[in-house]
């Protein structure tokens, strides 16, 4: 009996406390403590849930909590007559949710700890605000994971989108950050549109939005192998949602920009948890997807294409966080590919391992950026291996895991996917293999540029680094190095602040940066490893990146596949899940060897170009400069969208505003003008014709009366005389008449 | 006590009027006293309307708190008041928003204070009257009376081209309502032809079975009155002007309550009285509504005036409400009503928020702002919440309405739902852009550096709305249950497909819920517990492995 | 001595009334006109009293008292008008009071 509802509620309550009280009154330590304790409590509870499910027999691996009605039943037509539209606050933890719970709360906890030190230079209000958002994110993410029906999942889904918006735009004074947040939200909303329509269609088709009821109803339907039926339509719409949230083609454009947010945010939201929600959604509705094989193929193709293209773009980026952003899109493409071939368990496995090593890469890069005082351009890094040995070691582990080198976690999860892909679509396997090669290359390049060779940035003197910074600023806003500066300060001020001679005249510059100046004091001398609160999460994550793979070593490699067996009840009865067993040992071995060879080849190529013979690079870059520019701009998809959709919408908006003012409102005003013209005409008609006749009559009467009016002298006595005379006349008449 | 048990609606209706008379008695130079009296009578007006929430029985009679007295017996017009779930909720919205509008005017109105409050309170009575009238003529009288105070509010205390806007508002609505009066008269005579009784009784009208061609004509006539008020595309152009130039309280009342008159009219008159015509017009109404949703959103995207942007967002939102209504499904109509209430809450709050900065800076130009988050953090937080509520973020109120509307429409036509849902995306675009342009970015306008954050009074106007937004978002079930039977009755008239389902639901409900005598109720009054679909009593989460 | 009969009163009354009437018609001073009106009223009063005495009926006397009361009121209002008139025109000549023409 685990109180399931407490898991999202505790972080939500902490967020409320920090938001209502903390921003104004809490000292930093207290807001960080509240937030971290809350996520810690959620982690403990999640572990309890996980343990409980682990002990339960496979058939009973589920906990449900019904919190009450949300929308009580209202009659509504469905495909099978009138049904009842009803939504409850239903939470349900099964094996799939439990794995996700552990990932979200575990990595969330580590990142909270990391952020305590990372964000410490923020003013205390902003500090509490940061933790409020971060906790709120965790609450919504946990709600998403625990949702028992489509609508509750949608709440979490939109909620994490909101928190992502708030956290990307955390340094809201920077226009680029605010823009990036808004872009993320709106692009996500396009995907959510699909999700929302999918919910409607689910209700219309099945008369319920509960996952379990839908799954059991789907089981009774035939697989839509030949054409697109209603199930395929639902799946397509869900896929649109997943594509938006998980930054797949064609809606991946928001994720690279999302790196405007603080690095812990990038690690938690844009690497480990939120962006994988799309994959989670597909796995959660696997029953539906298994009945729509054509949509599955589409997902596989989209996933493979995204994996390869994003990795390719990652090859040439200079901003360390942008490399990692594309390197997040790529593995999620991998997960989609896995889901697309029906390997949901493998997809979740990769999701979990990826969460470890990608969060680690982000946090490591955060440490580097922190140490270099906000520098994100890898061209101004290098040689940090000796200065930051711990960061180097942990990031190296994560990089190897990402590349898929045995026996690290990434190897096992990736290998499982590749085996399944090989069986389903050999040509997609080729794409996957190529992706492995490219992935190994770019991550090796990242490590080489950051940690190998010699330091290429400015010297550790305040003046020089300020100069370097202003040069960077002069490169223009589109320059990657310039984009995500730390804090809201102007970059020049910022760098000055981080110089070793912090005290003295430079403090003037600091105060010039404004009250909300978020300066990092890390670079008080040569770069070095971060304090223990930041390195501890790195170490824990490194252990995870090393060992997490052992949870799911496939049976073909002699492992126990504990994770796969744990997840079995969730995906039980789904047609292609059984296929895994058919994989021959030989096939598996071949795929494994090919994959490892590709990874090693990629790594060696990067070593050649970036360590052994760096002078070859300019030659290559010049020869392929068209391709290089195309890749550097992310295939110019952003520009394309900007030129078509964004500009189109804005032009339509302006056009319609003009129409509204001129045509519609013009018509109203026109009616007014016509009415007034008519009124004027009537006025003239009235004045000269109608009133003319009346006046003529009046004038005639006036002339006639002119004669009579002389009688009216105005003298009282004349009137009295008249009266007396009249009286006499009447009396006379009366008396004489008798 | 009989006043409150038997004449509750009259008390609710006349409370603001009594306040207006009290204000009239105070000498005009004692402005503080006038403000206090007006504010207190606004609060009292809300307080006396609260029993509507607690004593309205969803499973009880169709019309509750009924009062009837002769008014013009010779033509069959009566002082006939009563509410169902729909109008009870709208009355509550009206009294709440009225109290808030009065409170919000405290600092903004500096001249002709006495006249201002008198007009505001009279307006309040007129609006309540339109919602509680069960006599068509009485309804029409209140409907028209409403225009006069609003005209003066805009024309005297407004800004910008206030005279133009006021006259446009007045004439536009008046033109519509004249045609509407024809429709009401046609109903009156048609009802006489059918029943032999001259009466303006709305409940009788709702039981008529008129010939289809007559229904079409009456529908068109009523449409003229209601659609202008909603406002539906393309009859909306009075709205941006009136909203923009009205004083803050006027904008709040206009957006939060007065627009609901139109949708209320459709729900009270067109749908139940003219079911055949309503069905006939569904495609046209849906088309207008969808065009309104997308058009309003796009035009809002191009605005540079803060208030105008929100005004156009109203066009979009009300299109959503109309679309849900003309899905003619229980879910759609429930959604429509909820969306109307939500629009009242969130757009009302947004206008209040604009009013707060306008009062400090005296400009509505969006480009004059930017970076306000830094100086007005509480304001920014409330504004964010209301923005999110307006764009329908789940767990806030806006989502419930949109979900129900779109779900209700989807089963009728997925295409309509899809088109309307694009409006939701555009809604996020224009609202977030507005938020970014005003709240985010650098604080580079020196005039904005010293802006004060919310005062206690301003916060007090916003707190109830924030609380409602969160409450309706998280747990709308009590509200939805109150609307259940009223929506059911409308649907039974207009869309008989749902007859069996509604009857079955009601039967199950009534079988399960036996009437009980509640100690606090007046003697003889049986209370039927509201039907519940909760598996367990609220607050006791059911859990355990299955 | 001949006894006083109603006839005598009627003659007196007629004489007074005629005096008053002529005064109203011919005098130019507005105050004198007002006084003449009083004369006419009192002539009527004499008539009323005389007939009441002759008929042994009180109604006539009651009427006479009413007339006195009305006359007092009339005098007050009349003098008020005269004062206002004098303030405006600085004259009491009735010939100057001709603004009621047309």
pLDDT of residue B98 exceeding 60, the answer is: yes
- Range scoring the smallest mean pLDDT among A208-217, A624-633, B511-520: B511-520
Helices (H) and strands (E) in chain C, counts: 3, 0
For chain A, what's the residue count?
738
pLDDT of residue A172 exceeding 70, the answer is: yes
User: Which residues in chain A are closer than 8 Å to B422, comparing Cβ atoms?
Assistant: 193
pLDDT of residue A129 exceeding 60, the answer is: yes
Question: What number is the average pLDDT over the span B283-310?
Answer: 92
The answer to whether C24 contacts chain A (CB < 8 Å) is: yes
- DSSP H or E stretch at residue B516: strand B516-517
The two structure tokens encoding residue B495? 């869309």
* Geometric angle at alpha carbon B428, from B424 and B430, rounded to 5°: 110
- Of B244, B410, B423, B448, which to mutate for an interface test with A (greatest number of A Cβ within 10 Å)? B410
Chains C and A touch (3+ CB pairs under 8 A): yes
B110 against A108, higher pLDDT: A108
Contact call for A158 and B394, based on CB within 8 A:
yes
Residues in a beta bridge with A88: A69
pLDDT of residue A66 exceeding 90, the answer is: no
The residue assigned the tokens 């004091």 is: A521
| A663-711 pLDDT tens trace | 888 888 888 889 889 888 888 888 888 888 888 888 888 888 877 777 7
Q: How far is A676 from chain C (nearest CA, A)?
A: 41
Question: What number is the average pLDDT over the span C31-52?
Answer: 91
The residue assigned the tokens 């009066």 is: B181
**pLDDT at residue B520 in the model:** 46
Q: Count the Cβ atoms, other than its own, within 10 Å of residue C99.
A: 9
Which residues on chain A place their C-beta less than 8 Å from a C-beta of chain C? 709, 712-717, 720-721, 724
Find residues 498-517 of chain A whose CB sits inside 8 Å of chain B: 515-516
Q: Which residue in B has a C-alpha nearest to residue A669's C-alpha?
A: B168
Contact call for C98 and A717, based on CB within 8 A:
no
The answer to whether B69 contacts chain A (CB < 8 Å) is: no
Question: What number is the average pLDDT over the span B94-123?
Answer: 90
Q: What is the DSSP string of A664-719?
A: IHHHHHHHHHHHHHHHHHHHHHIIIIIHHHHHHHHHHHHHHHHHHGGG----HHHH
Q: Which residue in B has a C-alpha nearest to residue A194's C-alpha?
A: B418
Alpha-carbon distance of B247 to B155, in angstroms, equals 9
Question: What number is the average pLDDT over the span A460-477?
Answer: 40
Query: Which parts of A56-174 fold into alpha helices (H)?
Result: 95-118, 124-146, 150-168
Cβ atoms of B203 and B275 within 8 Å: the answer is no
| A87-103 pLDDT tens trace | 999 999 988 999 999 99
**pLDDT at residue B112 in the model:** 87
pLDDT of residue C98 exceeding 80, the answer is: no
- Range scoring the smallest mean pLDDT among A605-614, B33-42, B63-72: A605-614
Among the partner-chain residues C26, C94, C102, the one whose CB lies closest to the CB of A716 is C94
Cβ atoms of A89 and A68 within 8 Å: the answer is yes
Alpha-carbon distance of B409 to B328, in angstroms, equals 8
**pLDDT at residue A574 in the model:** 62
Alpha-carbon distance of A382 to A360, in angstroms, equals 19
**pLDDT at residue A510 in the model:** 35
The two structure tokens encoding residue A725? 């005379």
At A722, the pLDDT band (50, 70, 90 cuts) reads confident
- Range scoring the smallest mean pLDDT among A243-252, A516-525, B263-272, B339-348: A516-525
| A306-341 pLDDT tens trace | 999 999 998 888 899 999 999 999 999 999 999 998
**pLDDT at residue B253 in the model:** 93
**pLDDT at residue A559 in the model:** 64
What's the mean pLDDT when you consider all of chain A?
Answer: 82
Q: Give the percent of chain A with pLDDT over 90.
A: 28
Alpha-carbon distance of A110 to A115, in angstroms, equals 9
Alpha-carbon distance of A700 to B546, in angstroms, equals 105
Contact call for A200 and B303, based on CB within 8 A:
no
| A631-662 pLDDT tens trace | 888 888 888 888 888 888 888 888 888 888 88
Contact call for A68 and B538, based on CB within 8 A:
yes
**pLDDT at residue B233 in the model:** 83
**pLDDT at residue A524 in the model:** 47
Question: What number is the average pLDDT over the span B194-214?
Answer: 89
Q: Give the percent of chain B with pLDDT over 90.
A: 55
Alpha-carbon distance of A193 to A199, in angstroms, equals 10
Alpha-carbon distance of C85 to C92, in angstroms, equals 8
User: Which residues in chain A are closer than 8 Å to B238, comparing Cβ atoms?
Assistant: 668
Contact call for A656 and B295, based on CB within 8 A:
yes
**pLDDT at residue A579 in the model:** 47
Q: How far is CA A106 from CA A16, A142, A148, A689, A695, in A?
A: 21, 12, 22, 92, 97
Q: Which residue in A has a C-alpha nearest to residue C25's C-alpha?
A: A717
Question: What number is the average pLDDT over the span B445-457?
Answer: 86
Cβ atoms of A323 and A608 within 8 Å: the answer is no
Q: Which residue in A has a C-alpha nearest to residue C22's C-alpha?
A: A721
The two structure tokens encoding residue A650? 């804005």
Whether the complex's predicted ipTM is more than 0.85 is answered with yes
At B513, the pLDDT band (50, 70, 90 cuts) reads low
Residues in a beta bridge with A47: none
Q: Count the Cβ atoms, other than its own, within 10 Å of residue C82.
A: 16
The answer to whether A195 contacts chain B (CB < 8 Å) is: no
Where does residue A587 rank: exposed (0-12), middle (13-18), buried (19+ CB within 10 A)?
middle
Q: How far is CA A219 from CA A66, A84, A339, A567, B527, in A?
A: 24, 21, 18, 19, 45
Alpha-carbon distance of A447 to A443, in angstroms, equals 6
User: Which residues in chain A are closer than 8 Å to C26, comparing Cβ atoms?
Assistant: 717
**Widest CA span of chain C, in angstroms?**
57
At A558, the pLDDT band (50, 70, 90 cuts) reads low
Q: How far is A130 from chain B (nearest CA, A)?
A: 14
Chains B and C touch (3+ CB pairs under 8 A): no
Among the partner-chain residues B298, B411, B542, the one whose CB lies closest to the CB of A652 is B298
- Using only C-alpha atoms, chain A has a radius of gyration, in whole angstroms, of 37
Among the partner-chain residues A175, A197, A654, the one whose CB lies closest to the CB of B417 is A197
Q: How far is A735 from chain C (nearest CA, A)?
A: 18
Alpha-carbon distance of B545 to A93, in angstroms, equals 9
Q: How far is A346 from chain B (nearest CA, A)?
A: 26
Q: Could you tell me the pTM of the whole model? A: 0.82
A36 against A502, higher pLDDT: A36
The two structure tokens encoding residue A334? 């991998």
Question: What number is the average pLDDT over the span A591-607?
Answer: 88
Among the partner-chain residues A715, A721, A724, the one whose CB lies closest to the CB of C94 is A715
Subunits with at least 3 CB pairs below 8 A relative to chain C? A
| B457-504 pLDDT tens trace | 999 999 999 999 999 999 998 899 889 888 988 888 888 788 777 777
The residue assigned the tokens 């830094």 is: B374
The answer to whether B497 contacts chain A (CB < 8 Å) is: yes
pLDDT of residue A562 exceeding 90, the answer is: no
What's the mean pLDDT when you consider all of chain B?
Answer: 87
pLDDT of residue A612 exceeding 90, the answer is: no
**pLDDT at residue B336 in the model:** 95
Instruction: Please count the residue pairs, one from chain A and one from chain C, whose beta carbons lie less than 8 angstroms apart.
Output: 30
**pLDDT at residue B533 in the model:** 34
Find residues 426-465 of chain B whose CB sits inside 8 Å of chain A: 426, 428-429, 432-433, 436, 439-443
Q: Give the percent of chain B with pLDDT over 70.
A: 92
**pLDDT at residue A583 in the model:** 59
Question: What number is the average pLDDT over the span A50-70?
Answer: 85
| B365-391 pLDDT tens trace | 898 888 888 888 899 999 999 999 999
Contact call for A67 and B172, based on CB within 8 A:
no
Alpha-carbon distance of A143 to C83, in angstroms, equals 95
Q: Which residue in B has a C-alpha nearest to residue A671's C-alpha?
A: B172
Query: Which parts of A1-123 fold into alpha helices (H)?
Result: 6-17, 23-25, 28-55, 95-118
Cβ atoms of B92 and B42 within 8 Å: the answer is no
Among the partner-chain residues B171, B377, B425, the one whose CB lies closest to the CB of A189 is B425
| B32-66 pLDDT tens trace | 899 999 999 999 999 999 999 988 888 778 888 99
Alpha-carbon distance of B325 to B321, in angstroms, equals 6
pLDDT of residue A504 exceeding 50, the answer is: no
A29 against B326, higher pLDDT: B326
The two structure tokens encoding residue B250? 């006027």
Give the three-state DSSP class for A49.
helix
- Range scoring the smallest mean pLDDT among A576-590, B46-60, B384-398, C16-30: A576-590
Q: How far is A681 from chain C (nearest CA, A)?
A: 37
Q: Which residue in A has a C-alpha nearest to residue B444's C-alpha?
A: A173
**pLDDT at residue A578 in the model:** 44
The two structure tokens encoding residue A328? 């997040």
Alpha-carbon distance of A83 to B498, in angstroms, equals 10
**pLDDT at residue C17 in the model:** 93
The candidate with the shortest Cα–Cα distance to A134, out of A12, A276, A5, is A12
Sheet with B542-545, side-by-side order of all strands: A81-94, A62-78, B542-545
Alpha-carbon distance of A282 to A297, in angstroms, equals 13
The answer to whether A575 contacts chain B (CB < 8 Å) is: no
Q: Give the percent of chain A with pLDDT over 70.
A: 88
Residues in a beta bridge with A74: A85
pLDDT of residue A546 exceeding 60, the answer is: yes
Query: Which parts of B256-305 fold into alpha helices (H)?
Result: 259-265, 271-273, 275-301
- DSSP H or E stretch at residue A87: strand A81-94
Helices (H) and strands (E) in chain A, counts: 33, 2
DSSP-derived letter for residue A62 is: E
| C45-69 pLDDT tens trace | 999 998 888 888 888 899 999 999 9
User: Which residues in chain A are closer than 8 Å to C97, comparing Cβ atoms?
Assistant: 714-716
DSSP-derived letter for residue A222 is: P
Per-residue buried b or exposed e for A187-223, using 16+ beta carbons within 10 Å of the residue's own CB: bbbbbbbbbbbbbbbbbbbbbbbbbbebbebbeeeee
């Amino acid at each position: 009996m685990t109180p399931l509802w407490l898991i999202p509620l505790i972080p939500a309550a902490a967020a409320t406390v920090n938001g209502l009280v903390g921003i104004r009154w809490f000292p930093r330590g207290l807001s960080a403590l509240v937030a971290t304790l809350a996520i810690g409590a959620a982690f403990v509870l999640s572990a309890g849930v996980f343990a409980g499910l682990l002990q339960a027999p496979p058939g009973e691996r589920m906990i449900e909590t019904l919190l009450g009605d949300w929308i009580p039943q209202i009659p509504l037509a469905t495909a099978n007559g009138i049904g009842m539209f009803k939504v409850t606050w239903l939470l349900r933890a099964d094996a799939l949710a439990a794995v996700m719970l552990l990932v979200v709360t575990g990595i969330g906890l580590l990142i909270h700890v990391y952020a305590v030190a990372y964000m410490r230079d923020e003013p205390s209000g902003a500090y509490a605000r940061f933790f409020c958002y971060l906790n709120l994110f965790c609450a919504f993410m946990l709600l998403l994971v625990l949702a028992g029906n489509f609508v509750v999942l949608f709440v979490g889904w939109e909620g994490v989108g909101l928190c992502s918006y708030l956290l990307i735009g955390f340094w809201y004074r920077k226009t680029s950050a605010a823009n990036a947040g808004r872009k993320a939200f709106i692009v996500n909303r396009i995907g959510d549109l699909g999700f929302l329509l999918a919910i409607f269609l689910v209700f219309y088709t099945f008369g319920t939005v509960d996952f379990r009821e839908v799954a059991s109803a789907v089981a009774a339907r035939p697989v839509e192998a030949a054409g697109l039926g209603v199930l395929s339509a639902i799946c397509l719409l869900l896929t649109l949602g997943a594509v938006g949230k998980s930054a797949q083609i064609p809606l991946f454009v928001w994720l690279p920009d999302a790196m405007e947010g603080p690095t812990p945010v990038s690690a938690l939201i844009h690497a480990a948890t939120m962006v994988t929600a799309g994959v989670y959604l597909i796995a959660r509705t696997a029953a539906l997807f298994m009945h729509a094989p054509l949509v599955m193929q589409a997902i596989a193709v989209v996933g493979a294409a995204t994996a390869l293209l994003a990795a390719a773009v990652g090859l040439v980026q200079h901003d360390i966080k942008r490399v990692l952003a594309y390197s997040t899109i790529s593995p999620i493409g991998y997960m989609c590919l896995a889901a697309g071939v029906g390997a949901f368990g493998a997809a979740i496995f990769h999701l979990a391992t990826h969460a470890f090593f990608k969060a680690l890469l982000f946090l490591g890069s955060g440490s580097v950026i922190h140490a270099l005082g906000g520098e994100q351009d890898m061209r101004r890094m290098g040689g940090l291996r000796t200065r930051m040995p711990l960061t180097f070691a942990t990031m190296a582990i994560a990089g190897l895991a990402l590349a898929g080198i045995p026996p690290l976690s990434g190897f096992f999860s990736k290998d499982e996917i590749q085996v399944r892909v090989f069986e389903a679509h050999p040509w997609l396997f080729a794409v996957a293999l190529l992706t492995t090669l490219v992935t190994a290359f770019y991550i090796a390049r990242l490590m080489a540029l950051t940690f190998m060779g010699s330091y290429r940035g400015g010297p550790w003197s305040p003046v020089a680094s300020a100069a370097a910074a202003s040069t960077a600023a002069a490169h223009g806003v589109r320059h990657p190095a310039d984009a995500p500066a730390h804090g809201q300060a102007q970059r020049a001020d910022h760098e000055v602040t981080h110089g070793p001679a912090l005290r003295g005249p430079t403090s003037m510059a600091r105060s010039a940066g404004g009250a909300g100046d978020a300066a990092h004091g890390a670079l008080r001398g040569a770069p070095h490893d971060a304090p223990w609160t930041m390195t501890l999460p790195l170490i824990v994550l490194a252990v995870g990146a090393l060992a997490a793979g052992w949870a799911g070593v496939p049976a073909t490699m002699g492992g126990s596949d504990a994770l796969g067996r744990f997840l079995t009840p969730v995906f039980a009865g789904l047609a292609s899940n059984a296929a895994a067993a058919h994989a021959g040992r030989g096939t598996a071995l071949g795929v494994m060897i090919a994959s490892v060879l590709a990874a090693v080849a990629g790594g060696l190529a990067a070593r050649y170009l970036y360590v052994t013979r760096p002078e070859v690079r300019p030659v290559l870059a010049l020869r392929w400069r068209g391709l290089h520019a195309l890749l550097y701009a992310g295939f110019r998809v952003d520009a394309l969208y900007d030129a078509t959709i964004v500009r189109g919408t804005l032009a339509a908006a302006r056009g319609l505003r003009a129409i509204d003012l001129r045509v519609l409102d013009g018509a109203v005003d026109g009616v007014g003008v016509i009415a007034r013209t008519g009124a004027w005409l009537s006025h003239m008609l009235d004045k000269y014709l109608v009133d003319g006749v009346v006046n003529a009559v009046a004038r005639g009467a006036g002339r006639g009366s002119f004669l009579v009016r002389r009688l009216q002298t105005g003298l009282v006595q004349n009137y009295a005389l008249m009266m007396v005379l009249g009286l006499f006349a009447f009396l006379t008449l009366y008396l004489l008449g008798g | 006590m009989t006043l409150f048990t038997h004449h509750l609606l009259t008390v609710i209706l006349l409370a603001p009027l009594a306040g207006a008379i009290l204000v009239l008695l105070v000498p005009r130079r004692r402005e503080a006293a006038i403000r206090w009296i007006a504010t207190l009578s606004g609060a009292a007006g809300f307080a006396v309307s609260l029993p509507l929430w607690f004593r309205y029985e969803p499973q009880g009679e169709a019309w509750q708190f009924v009062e009837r007295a002769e008014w013009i017996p010779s033509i069959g017009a009566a002082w006939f008041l009563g509410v169902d779930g729909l109008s009870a909720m709208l009355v509550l919205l009206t009294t709440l928003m009225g109290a808030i509008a009065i409170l919000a005017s405290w600092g903004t109105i500096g001249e002709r204070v006495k006249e201002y409050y008198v007009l505001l309170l009279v307006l309040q009575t007129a609006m309540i009257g339109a919602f509680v009238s069960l006599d068509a003529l009485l309804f029409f009288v209140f409907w028209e009376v409403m225009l006069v105070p609003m005209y003066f509010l805009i024309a005297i205390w407004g800004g910008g081209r206030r005279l133009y806007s006021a006259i446009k508002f007045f004439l536009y609505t008046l033109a519509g309502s004249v045609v509407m009066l024809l429709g009401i008269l046609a109903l009156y005579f048609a009802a006489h032809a059918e029943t032999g009784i001259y009466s303006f009784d709305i409940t009788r009208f709702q039981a008529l079975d008129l010939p289809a061609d007559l229904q079409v004509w009456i529908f068109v006539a009523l449409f003229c009155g209601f659609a202008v008020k909603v406002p539906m595309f393309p009859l909306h152009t009075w709205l941006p002007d009136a909203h923009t130039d009205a004083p803050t309280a006027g904008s709040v009342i206009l957006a939060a309550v007065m627009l609901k008159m139109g949708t209320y009219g459709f729900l009270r008159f067109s749908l139940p009285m003219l079911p055949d015509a309503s069905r006939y017009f569904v495609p046209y109404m849906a088309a207008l509504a969808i065009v309104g949703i997308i058009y309003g959103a796009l035009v809002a995207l191009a605005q540079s005036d803060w208030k105008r942007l929100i005004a156009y967002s109203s066009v979009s939102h009300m299109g959503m409400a109309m679309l849900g209504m003309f899905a003619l499904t229980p879910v759609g109509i429930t959604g429509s009503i909820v969306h109307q209430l939500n629009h009242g809450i969130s757009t009302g709050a947004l206008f209040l928020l604009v009013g707060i900065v306008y009062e400090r800076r005296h400009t509505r130009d969006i480009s004059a702002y930017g970076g306000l988050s830094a100086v007005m953090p509480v304001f920014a937080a409330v504004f964010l919440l209301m923005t999110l509520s307006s764009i329908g973020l789940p767990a806030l109120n806006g989502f419930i309405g949109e979900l129900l509307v779109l779900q209700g429409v989807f089963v009728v036509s997925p295409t309509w739902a899809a088109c309307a849902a694009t409006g939701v995306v555009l809604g996020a675009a224009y609202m977030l852009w507005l938020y970014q342009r005003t709240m985010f970015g650098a604080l580079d306008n020196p005039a904005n550096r010293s802006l004060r954050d919310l005062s206690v009074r301003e916060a007090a106007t916003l707190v109830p709305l924030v609380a409602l937004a969160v409450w309706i978002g998280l747990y709308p079930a009590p509200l939805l249950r109150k609307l259940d039977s009223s929506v059911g009755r409308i649907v039974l008239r207009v869309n008989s497909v749902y007859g069996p389902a509604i009857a079955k639901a009601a039967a199950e409900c009534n079988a399960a819920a036996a009437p009980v005598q509640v100690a606090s109720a007046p003697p003889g009054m049986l209370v039927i517990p509201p039907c519940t679909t909760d598996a367990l009593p609220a607050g006791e989460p059911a859990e355990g492995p299955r | 001595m001949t006894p006083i009969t109603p006839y005598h009163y009627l003659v007196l009354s007629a004489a007074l009334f005629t005096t008053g009437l002529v005064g109203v018609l011919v005098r130019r001073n507005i105050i004198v006109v007002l006084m003449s009106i009083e004369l006419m009223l009192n002539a009527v009063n004499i008539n009323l009293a005389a007939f009441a005495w002759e008929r042994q009926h009180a109604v006539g006397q009651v009427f006479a008292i009413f007339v006195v009361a009305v006359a007092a009121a009339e005098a007050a209002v009349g003098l008020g008008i005269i004062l206002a008139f004098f303030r405006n025109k600085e004259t009491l000549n009735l010939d100057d009071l001709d603004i009621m023409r047309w």
